[in-house]
Amino acid sequence: MKKWQKNLYAVWLTQFLSLLGFGFCLPFLPFFIQDLGIKDPVQLKVWVGWLNSGPSLALAVMAPVWGVLADRLGKKLMLIRAMIGGTVVLIGLGFAGSAWTVLIFRILQGLLTGTVTSSATLVASGTPDDKLSYALGFVSSSTFIGYSLGPAVGGLIAEQFGYQISFFIGAAIMFIGLLLVIFLIEEPTPEMAGHIAVGSAVPKSELKSRNSRKYKAGKLTITPYLVMLFILFFFIRLSRVMPSPFLPLFVQEIRGTIEGSARMTGLISGAIALASAASGLTLSRLGDRMNRMALMSVLLGIGTAVSLFITLIPGLRSFIIFAVLTFFLIGGVEPLIMAITSEQVSSENRGMLFGIQTAVGSLAWFLSPLMATRVSIAGSIESVFLLFAIMLGVTWAVSASVNIRNRIALRK
């Protein structure tokens, strides 16, 4: 087994534990703050927006800083830092006695963590270019699988023993992941990464696309093409995370009671995350064999059409079916974007690249809950899922325009 493969499998395991730890408790914050005294329906929606926007804004500020430090001090060190931060935050949330305390620790989460970006940076910096779609899709599956099992088990524990216990168990799981990072993962080197291999199954047109924008080692240049990819990344993040903060309230509204809603929310979150993981393991892997941008446009187009049925057909059962199918279709899009952007720079500069990209994505995470909060107050929680479908359509339009621009550039 090659070094890049050993690192990939080790990172997968540590990120599975990281997102398992977060998934034990974070999806149930809307229920937790109700226990802490936030009862008014409008205030509850506002708090849900704040709790999801606050850490995203903090992450947007810090991500480029951590990215630069990753290139200078090491990708492994930044992953260790993120895992320590996650452990501390989850312990702090377990001791929170007010909604304001929860908000403070959520902001600290944005400042100190970022395990997903750190792991993706480490993998992208030590993986051959012709394996990037596979590697990034594979490591993203750990995120979704961890976040599928976490809510499913965490919801049961929260209802039986309380939300604080879920936070402490999540922190313990995160700490185990930290130990694995320290002892199993090797700092990536330029020797681990390569270029598209001779005899690759990638079509000639895609080879031309990937080789037409050569980077200069030791220098990160923000090209117009990279800017377009950042914009696309912004819109997919803005769309994908929009329904998540309001899923617990949606389930509670449909069931008519908070009792048992944490367990049901956990199961639904788990099913959606598992579908996203399956997409990362299957659909995104096609990006190593065909045009990644064209593949993205197809997935987003079909995903947009399916997402419309989430609001058109009422009922919890139909919601689960169409939500799972939608997230299966769009779950492989982010790894594809990350693979394309990774090829634009040398492996030594991918920390800074991913830091900038994470800042862009975090701004989307910041705006998405605020938009959803405003729509839910003006209309209903169901309106959030309609907005989700609309924004997916916008994302598809952006991807199609980038794909057309790319094809025109290749003909010149």
pLDDT tens-place string over residues 236-269: 999 998 988 888 888 888 888 878 788 888 888 8
> Per-residue pLDDT for 204 more than 50?
no
Extract the tokens encoding 367. Answer: 């705006």
Could you give the CA distance from residue 336 to residue 296 in angstroms, rounded to a whole number?
7
Give the pLDDT score at 260: 78
Extract the tokens encoding 183. Answer: 């002892």
At residue 144 the predicted structure's pLDDT band, cuts being 50, 70 and 90, is: confident
At residue 219 the predicted structure's pLDDT band, cuts being 50, 70 and 90, is: low
Kindly report which listed range (179-183, 228-232, 266-270, 397-401) carries the lowest average pLDDT score.
266-270
Nearest to 369 by CA among 39, 110, 17, 65: 110
Mean local confidence (pLDDT), 132-151: 85
> Per-residue pLDDT for 190 more than 80?
no
Could you give the CA distance from residue 51 to residue 45 in angstroms, rounded to a whole number?
10
DSSP string, 301-323: HHHHHHHHHHHHS-SHHHHHHHH
SS3 148: helix
Average model confidence (pLDDT) across the chain: 87
Give the pLDDT score at 386: 93
Instruction: Tell me whether residue 5 is exposed, middle or buried, using C-beta atoms within 10 angstroms of its C-beta: 0 to 12, 13 to 18, 19 or more.
Output: middle
At residue 74 the predicted structure's pLDDT band, cuts being 50, 70 and 90, is: very high
Query: Could you list the residue range(s) of the whole structural domain that residue 313 is in?
Result: 3-193+202-411
> Per-residue pLDDT for 191 more than 90?
no
Could you give the CA distance from residue 301 to residue 252 in angstroms, rounded to a whole number?
31
The DSSP output letter for 195 is -
> Per-residue pLDDT for 12 more than 90?
yes
Buried b (16+ CB within 10 A) or exposed e, 314-344: eeeeebbbbbbbbbbbbbbbbbbbbbbbbbb
pLDDT tens-place string over residues 314-372: 888 898 999 999 999 999 899 899 888 888 887 777 888 888 998 999 999 899 999 99
Instruction: Tell me whether residue 227 is exposed, middle or buried, using C-beta atoms within 10 angstroms of its C-beta: 0 to 12, 13 to 18, 19 or more.
Output: exposed
For residue 62, the one-letter residue type is M
Give the sign of the dihedral formed by CA 110, CA 87, CA 142, CA 154. Answer: negative
Give the pLDDT score at 195: 44
Give the pLDDT score at 197: 40
The DSSP output letter for 213 is S
Extract the tokens encoding 39. Answer: 């009862």
Number of folded domains that form the chain: 1
For residue 288, the one-letter residue type is D
Angle, alpha carbons 380-383-388 (nearest 5°): 145
pLDDT tens-place string over residues 272-320: 988 988 888 888 778 888 888 889 999 999 999 999 998 888 888 898 9
Instruction: Tell me whether residue 39 is exposed, middle or buried, using C-beta atoms within 10 angstroms of its C-beta: 0 to 12, 13 to 18, 19 or more.
Output: exposed
Could you give the CA distance from residue 134 to residue 393 in angstroms, rounded to a whole number?
26
Extract the tokens encoding 46. Answer: 């506002």
Report for 164-173, 332-341, 397-406: range of highest mean pLDDT: 164-173
At residue 147 the predicted structure's pLDDT band, cuts being 50, 70 and 90, is: confident
User: Which CATH number is 81's domain given?
Assistant: 1.20.1250.20
How many other C-beta atoms lie within 10 A of the C-beta of residue 35? 14
Mean local confidence (pLDDT), 184-195: 78
At residue 9 the predicted structure's pLDDT band, cuts being 50, 70 and 90, is: very high
Could you give the CA distance from residue 405 to residue 178 in angstroms, rounded to a whole number?
43
pLDDT tens-place string over residues 16-46: 999 999 988 888 899 899 999 999 989 998 9
DSSP string, 357-399: HHHHHHHHHHHHHHHHHHHHHHS-HHHHHHHHHHHHHHHHHHH
> Per-residue pLDDT for 207 more than 70?
no
- More confident call, 177 vs 220: 177
How many other C-beta atoms lie within 10 A of the C-beta of residue 305? 15
